[in-house]
Structure 1
Amino acid sequence: MNDAISTGILWHLVGAASAACFYAPFKKVKNWSWETMWSVGGIVSWIILPWAISAALLPNFWAYYGSFNASTLLPVFLFGAMWGIGNINYGLTMRYLGMSMGIGIAIGITLIVGTLMTPILNGKFGVLIGTPGGQMTLLGVLVALIGVAIVTRAGQLKERQMGIRAEEFNLKKGLILAVMCGIFSAGMSFAMDAAKPMHEAAAALGVDPMYVALPSYVVIMGGGALINLGFCFVRLAKVPGISLKADLSVMKPLLITNVLLSALGGLMWYFQFFFYAWGHAKIPAQYDYMSWMLHMSFYVLCGGLVGLILKEWSNAGRRPVGVLSIGCIVIIIAANIVGLGMAK
């Protein structure tokens, strides 16, 4: 495995670690509805940061985006909106299936769809299964799925041991939402593929290769923001018992604290894709769709490790922790298999 691929895998790990930790500041927010908290964090992560960083990178912000026609920008935006739908379904999946089963099914599906549909749609799947490197990367995807399944099983054992149950457990509804979440969340992978002309244009303007994907986030995350913020604002306006006005009327010190915590959560959320762009830049072009597999499998890995660090497993017993450890090791092995396949 060459140094560039190893570095790319490392940056994907850093991004996934940020994704696994981003919700921690949100847990400290008090006396706010989830909708307000999510909206504040989302405005930071989906609007302010993509626009500010792109403005800093591009020599002429408006000229860059004006150089693309609708046929280029619309698919990027719509795939971003597709990801936004998956993002909302993710929370509902947790509500009806619980964390372990919900994450396992949703992440497993989005890992498969987001990783393999891109080469299939681009007519490269035959090359993938017909070359030694491609076959090894496919093996890595399979091993990653096994690792996700093992971590999911560890979570189920933990929930059973600790008596944790989904808020409103409903297997049928939860499974439907998990499948939808898995499919729609892969929109981010599709959006990155559709945004390649934007990456190339940024490179032509002299933007460092590590950063060429970042200007496309203005459009990708704009699509996600439309869905997420629209969902939150409708609920704030229509659902009894929650309102933006009530949330903003809390005491000033708490208001400032809540805004800062929500903004920090949004910053950490954005960092996952900031470092995703760095990792993506180091992956060989013929295997760039593997970025999604690395990101999602590392997300599960880091989620388990963060849970251990925060002592969320301290009362779960030795067996769940042992199963979790095996799952994490399998995911690490999967990443190495993919790396070796890309180096062939």
Structure 2
Amino acid sequence: MSSSIVLGIFWHFVGATSAACFYAPYKKVRHWSWETMWSLGGLFSWIILPWGISYWLLPDFWAYYGSFSASVLLPVFLFGAMWGVGNIGYGLTMRYLGMSLGIGIAIGITLIIGTLMTPIIQGRFGMMIGTPGGRMTLLGVLVAVVGVGIVTYAGLLKERALGIRAEEFNLRKGLALAIMCGVFSAGMSFAMDAAKPMHDAAAQIGISPLYVALPSYVVIMGGGALINLGFCILRLMTRRDLSLRADLSVASSVLLTNVLFSVLAGVMWYLQFFFYAWGHASIPVQYDYMSWMLHMSFYVLGGGIVGLLLKEWLSTGTKPTRILCLGALVIVLAANIVGMGMAS
């Protein structure tokens, strides 16, 4: 396996770990509605950071985006909005199925769809099943799904041991939302593929391969921001039990702490795709669809590792922890299988 592929896999792990950790600062926010803290964090992750970093990278910010036709920008934006719908459904999935089952089903579906649908649409499925490297990468996807399933089962055992239940458990609603979430969340993978002309244009004006994907995030995350911020603002305006004015009227010390933690969460969320771009740049072009598989499986792996470091599994007994470790090893094995497939 080449050093470039190893480095690409490593950067995907770093980005996915940031994604697994990003919600932790939100847990420190007090006396604010979810809508307010999510909007503030999202303002940084979906608008301020993508725009600021792209403005710094591009020699002429406005000329770069003005060079693309609507036929290029619109699919990128709409796929970003598609991801935004999945992002909203993610929270509702947890509500009806619980954290572990909801994450497992949603991540498993988005891993498969986001990884395999792009090469299938592009007519590359023959290459995937007709070459040794392609077959090995497909095997890696299958092993990754198995690993996600094992970690999900460990999470279910953990929740039972701790007496944690879904807020409003409803299997039918939860499964429907998990499937919807999994399908729509794959929009980020589709958006990255649709944005390739933007990546090529960034490379032509001298931007490093590590950063060529970052300017496209202005458009991708703009679509996601429209859905997420629109949803939050609508709820703040229409729900009687929610009030932005009340959220902002908390004590000054609480207000400052809430702002800082919300901003930190937003920065950590953005960093997942900052490092995703680095990892994606190191993956061979013919296997670029594997970036999504690596990101999503490492997201589950990172969540398990973070839980262990935070000692969340101490009171669950040895069986859930052993199964979690087994699932983590299977995901690591999947990454190695994919890496060997890309190198062959």
User: Same fold per TM (> 0.5)?
Assistant: yes
Give the aligned partner of residue 204 of structure 2. 204
| Residue identity opposite 1:262 in structure 2 | S
TM-superposition CA deviations, 1:105-132 (whole Å, max 9, x none): 0000000000000000111011111000
Correspondence 1:44-123 to 2 at 5 A: 44-123=44-123
Give the aligned partner of residue 332 of structure 2. 332
Correspondence 1:80-229 to 2 at 5 A: 80-229=80-229
Structure 1 residue 319 corresponds to structure 2 residue 319: yes
* Whole-angstrom CA distance in 1 between matches of 2:251 and 2:41: 20
Correspondence 1:4-15 to 2 at 5 A: 4-15=4-15
TM-score by length of structure 2 reads: 1.00
| Residue identity opposite 2:308 in structure 1 | L
Give the aligned partner of residue 295 of structure 1. 295
Deviation at 1:292, TM superposition (A): 0.2
Give the aligned partner of residue 38 of structure 1. 38
* Whole-angstrom CA distance in 1 between matches of 2:270 and 2:61: 20
* Whole-angstrom CA distance in 1 between matches of 2:246 and 2:126: 57
Deviation at 1:160, TM superposition (A): 1.1
Deviation at 1:64, TM superposition (A): 0.1
TM-superposition CA deviations, 1:240-290 (whole Å, max 9, x none): 211111111111221111111100000000000000000000000000010
* Whole-angstrom CA distance in 1 between matches of 2:140 and 2:61: 39
Give the aligned partner of residue 247 of structure 2. 247
* Whole-angstrom CA distance in 2 between matches of 1:225 and 1:213: 18
Give the aligned partner of residue 309 of structure 1. 309
* Whole-angstrom CA distance in 2 between matches of 1:48 and 1:255: 20
* Whole-angstrom CA distance in 2 between matches of 1:329 and 1:255: 42
| Residue identity opposite 2:249 in structure 1 | S
Give the aligned partner of residue 23 of structure 2. 23
Percent identity over the alignment?
Answer: 75
| Residue identity opposite 1:224 in structure 2 | G
Unpaired runs of 5+ residues, structure 1, are none
128-137 vs 253-262, greater mean Cα deviation: 253-262
Give the aligned partner of residue 280 of structure 2. 280
Deviation at 1:203, TM superposition (A): 0.3
- Helix, strand or coil at the partner of 1:242: coil
* Whole-angstrom CA distance in 1 between matches of 2:261 and 2:53: 21
Deviation at 1:239, TM superposition (A): 1.1
TM-superposition CA deviations, 1:284-329 (whole Å, max 9, x none): 0000010000000000000001001111111110000000000000
* Whole-angstrom CA distance in 1 between matches of 2:324 and 2:74: 41
* Whole-angstrom CA distance in 2 between matches of 1:291 and 1:9: 8
* Whole-angstrom CA distance in 2 between matches of 1:320 and 1:271: 30
* Whole-angstrom CA distance in 2 between matches of 1:284 and 1:27: 38
| Residue identity opposite 1:314 in structure 2 | L
| Residue identity opposite 2:10 in structure 1 | L
Deviation at 1:31, TM superposition (A): 0.4
* Whole-angstrom CA distance in 2 between matches of 1:57 and 1:297: 30
* Whole-angstrom CA distance in 1 between matches of 2:231 and 2:112: 27
Give the aligned partner of residue 261 of structure 2. 261
TM-score by length of structure 1 reads: 1.00
* Whole-angstrom CA distance in 2 between matches of 1:27 and 1:75: 35
246-255 vs 319-328, greater mean Cα deviation: 246-255
181-190 vs 152-161, greater mean Cα deviation: 152-161
Unpaired runs of 5+ residues, structure 2, are none
Runs ≥4 in structure 1, deviation > 4 angstroms?
Answer: none
* Whole-angstrom CA distance in 1 between matches of 2:282 and 2:329: 24
Deviation at 1:171, TM superposition (A): 0.4
* Whole-angstrom CA distance in 1 between matches of 2:117 and 2:199: 20
